[in-house]
Amino acid sequence: MLKAGYTRTRKAFTGLNSSSRRSIATDTKKEEAKPQTLDFLPFALPDTGEEEIEEVADSIRSGWLTTGPKTRKFEQDFAEFLGGGIECLAVNSATSGLHLALDAVGIGNGDEVITTPYTFTATAEVIRYLGAHPVFIDIDPRTFNLNPTLIEAAVTKRTKAILPVHFGGLACDMESIVDIAHRYNLRIIEDAAHALPTTCNSLLVGTLPSDATVFSFYATKTLATGEGGMLVTKNPDIAARCRVMRLHGIDRDAFDRYTSCKPAWYYEVIAPGFKYNMTDLAASIGIHQLKKVYQFQRRREAIAEAYHTGLSDLPVMLPPYPPDGEIHAWHLYVIRLTDSAPVSRDRFIELMSQMGIGTSVHFIPLILQPYWRDTYNLKECDFPNAVDCYKRAVSLPIYSRMSNDDVLRVIKAVRTILE
Ligand SMILES: *Cc1c(COP(=O)(O)O)cnc(C)c1O
């Protein structure tokens, strides 16, 4: 983010002679002395430091840019972070990780996968990649997570899996989901794009009894490598299939080829795989981001607490806390305007933007998106909670680089609009 003053200075310099340049430079100094209330507070920013820069530079100097020693280290560190013999496969996005996981558990043409409409389209599109169909069920209006009491009614002979999303970083009711999956012999693939670090029954998401879990390292997520993801599983067969399909269906990755005793040029293609491997440049960032995951989480939790205290008397519904002793990743902080709010949700977003604060909406439910709505003939009336949450929802900025002043500025702006 450039400071507003800097942007203006650069514009002012173009096409000016040296004497007028001096006077502009003086003006700029005056401008910079003013409080920077006009700076735009972005909705999200990654929190990277010199360690990440150094590690990426080291990879570039080493000549190893794509999947190699840094990716291997990132996978090992991630496995250590989760603990308990978990296999970790770094991929180039959570979308590709979800695709690999669904493929590995055998999802195919005509199968059905039960999931939530209150998510990003990636969650459902990967099901279509395999010719299978998402079956959307409504959410729990308290948590935004899929409502497990609606799962059984959605199960048919074609149902093969459940794909829950831990919305905003708050764990789904996994106990119920695992119980239903066992009774109906369904697979579970967790979309944990928001859920690092999140716990459920004191276990980190990634170590729960599901078939595979996929994290996202997209630029705005709680661990950011720009683009990237991690597929984790305790099942060695799933890991083996994903490892092969991650890189063109080749039976070992490039690193192995150059370091094992087999001739370097030899490989075997055993399936028409994908190009989903992580680069060492991304892994270099991930290695250092991972070390700061809890530090970042504590900062976001403190921001959530400040919002809770600062906004609790307003006509808004605040996001729920996790059960006692559990960790909420606080990837998102979604407030919902109640009927007594003096402005509409859309107007609220406009006013926040005019006050220099970025907000967002998570999510436009998939049932309202043309492709999903028309392909599956979805009706709003079948998803009353998803529709109601969407109409009221606004995501406030919550990221570790926000200063205390930034947090107070957000609270003040929300109060100015809603009081
Ligand atoms: C971001 C996101 C994804 C996709 O992650 P990518 O790494 O960008 O592929 C999937 N599901 C949810 C819920 C997300 O928010």
- Residue 41 and residue 180 in one domain: no
- Residue 356 and residue 388 in one domain: yes
pLDDT of res. 94:
98
Q: To test the ligand 1 pocket, which listed residue (91, 93, 120, 366) has its Cβ within 8 A of the most ligand atoms?
A: 120
* 333 ligand 1 Cβ < 6 A: no
- Residue 263 and residue 144 in one domain: yes
Task: Write out the H or E segment, with its range, that includes residue 212.
Answer: strand 212-216
* 332 ligand 1 Cβ < 6 A: no
- Residue 317 and residue 404 in one domain: yes
Question: In whole angstroms, how large is the CA radius of gyration of the chain?
Answer: 23
Q: Are 115 and 145 in contact (CB under 8 A)?
A: no
Number of other residues whose CB lies within 10 A of the CB of residue 84: 10
Instruction: Write down the number of H helices and E strands in the chain.
Output: 16, 12
- Residue 58 and residue 180 in one domain: yes
Let me know if residue 4 belongs to a domain. Answer: no
Query: For residue 191, how far is its CA from the centre of ligand 1 (angstroms)?
Result: 8
User: Domain with 356 in it: what CATH number?
Assistant: 3.90.1150.10
Query: For residue 357, how far is its CA from the centre of ligand 1 (angstroms)?
Result: 24
Angle at alpha carbon of residue 102, lines to 97 and 103, rounded to 5°: 95
Let me know if residue 227 belongs to a domain. Answer: yes
* 91 ligand 1 Cβ < 6 A: no
pLDDT of res. 14:
31
Of 291, 324, 359, the residue that ends a domain is: 291
User: Domain with 168 in it: what CATH number?
Assistant: 3.40.640.10
Which residues are marked as active site?
A: 221
Residue 163 pairs with which residues in a beta bridge?
Answer: 115
Let me know if residue 1 belongs to a domain. Answer: no
* 196 ligand 1 Cβ < 6 A: no
Let me know if residue 387 belongs to a domain. Answer: yes
Give the closest residue (by CA) to ligand 1 atom 2: 193
Let me know if residue 5 belongs to a domain. Answer: no
- Residue 76 and residue 172 in one domain: yes
Task: Write out the H or E segment, with its range, that includes residue 19.
Answer: helix 18-33
Let me know if residue 8 belongs to a domain. Answer: no
- Residue 224 and residue 322 in one domain: no
Number of other residues whose CB lies within 10 A of the CB of residue 272: 8
Instruction: Provide the residue range defining the domain that includes 382.
Output: 18-45+293-418
Let me know if residue 11 belongs to a domain. Answer: no
* 120 ligand 1 Cβ < 6 A: yes
Q: How many domains does the chain have?
A: 2
- Residue 370 and residue 277 in one domain: no
* 191 ligand 1 Cβ < 6 A: yes
- Residue 165 and residue 253 in one domain: yes
Tell which atom from ligand 1 comes closest to the C-alpha of 95.
Answer: 9
Task: Compute the distance between CA of residue 58 and CA of residue 255 in angstroms, rounded to an integer.
Answer: 17
Query: For residue 59, how far is its CA from the centre of ligand 1 (angstroms)?
Result: 26
Query: For residue 7, how far is its CA from the centre of ligand 1 (angstroms)?
Result: 32
pLDDT digits (tens, 9 = 90+) for 48-86: 999 999 999 999 999 999 999 999 999 999 999 999 789
> 0.75 cut: is pTM over it?
yes
- Residue 170 and residue 69 in one domain: yes
- Residue 254 and residue 346 in one domain: no
- Residue 33 and residue 130 in one domain: no
Of 243, 259, 291, the residue that ends a domain is: 291
Of 274, 291, 308, the residue that ends a domain is: 291
Tell which atom from ligand 1 comes closest to the C-alpha of 122.
Answer: 10
* 94 ligand 1 Cβ < 6 A: yes
* 395 ligand 1 Cβ < 6 A: no
Per-residue pLDDT of the chain (419 residues; tens, 9 = 90+): 333 332 323 233 233 333 333 333 334 444 444 454 559 999 999 999 999 999 999 999 999 999 999 999 999 999 999 997 899 999 999 999 999 999 999 999 999 999 999 999 999 999 999 999 999 999 999 999 999 999 999 999 999 999 999 999 999 999 999 999 999 999 999 999 999 999 999 999 999 999 999 999 999 999 999 999 999 999 999 999 999 999 999 987 555 666 667 788 888 999 999 999 999 999 999 999 999 999 999 999 999 999 999 999 999 999 999 999 999 999 999 999 999 999 999 999 999 999 999 999 999 999 999 999 999 999 999 999 999 999 999 999 999 999 999 999 999 999 999 99
Let me know if residue 193 belongs to a domain. Answer: yes
Q: To test the ligand 1 pocket, which listed residue (218, 274, 278, 364) has its Cβ within 8 A of the most ligand atoms?
A: 218
Query: For residue 94, how far is its CA from the centre of ligand 1 (angstroms)?
Result: 6
Query: For residue 268, how far is its CA from the centre of ligand 1 (angstroms)?
Result: 31
pLDDT of res. 318:
98
DSSP characters over 322-377: PSTT-----S-EEEEE-TT-SS-HHHHHHHHHHTTB--B-S---GGGSHHHHHHTT
pLDDT of res. 380:
98
* 165 ligand 1 Cβ < 6 A: yes
Query: For residue 216, how far is its CA from the centre of ligand 1 (angstroms)?
Result: 6
